[in-house]
Chain A
């Protein structure tokens, strides 16, 4: 595979890691994009030094050709994938050991909710009613 193909694959995989695998959904947060914009700026500088001074050189046959700050445009996807995977993992690790936040999304939570519906009673009904607002606000 060419660098272009691998870079596209990595970017898609990173998006899937954030949305499906780790369910951190950082890509929907302005915190992520603000941090990424800052990292991108410094990436262009450091990568520009490495590529511009030919510390690293690329085979023209495996890249599209256009360059940004001396580095192949593929490096943008490479960097995006690395930053997204890292930050998603970082946030996921921070979620461990605290009450389930995305209760409405997790399979086990859905099973619990279904089980609760299957045996309704005054206690369950009141619990469900009181939990509704919390549930909605805690999905992000």
Chain B
């Protein structure tokens, strides 16, 4: 069971943020194309950083607390998932705050809808 530690942390992140999509209508998973495109740059850049850090031994992972599934570059499966899960959770949090507080993000369809200067 210890080998599932890292995986369990990631699962906790996804399960913990799922209610935001279900009840606050964050519509992140509901827009799969935008969701995946938004996550892609962070996934590519931070995976590259991770591969560099692993190669230079800036950090390393406990084989007893990870599944042991290694992707090319000795990248643990959990690390690749981390760079999908965490950006996804960030978007869900962002959309949840917007849903609750109604503050603009700058991508609202009514281009001139936030006049007045005080809405930032």
Contact = CB atoms under 8 A, between A and B. Distances in A.
Contact of B61 (A25, A55, A86, A87): A55
Contacts, number: 143
Contacts of A24: 106-107
Interface residues of A, number: 50
Interface stretch (A93-101, A110-118, A121-129): A93-101
A59 B58 contact: yes
Interface in A126-140: 134, 137-138, 140
Interface string A9-52: 01000000000000011101111101100110011001001100
Main secondary structure of the interface of A (DSSP, over half): helix
A121 to B, nearest CB: 25
Contacts of A90: 34, 38, 91, 94
B120 A28 contact: yes
Contacts of A39: 89-90, 93
A26 B115 contact: no
Nearest to A97: B109
11 contacts: A3-B58, A24-B107, A28-B120, A49-B9, A53-B5, A59-B58, A87-B90, A87-B94, A93-B38, A98-B109, A138-B112
Shortest 4 CB-CB contacts between residues of A and residues of B: A94-B107, A137-B115, A90-B38, A86-B87
Interface of A: 2-3, 6, 10, 24-26, 28-32, 34-35, 38-39, 42-43, 46, 49-50, 53-59, 62, 79, 82-83, 85-87, 89-95, 98-101, 134, 137-138, 140
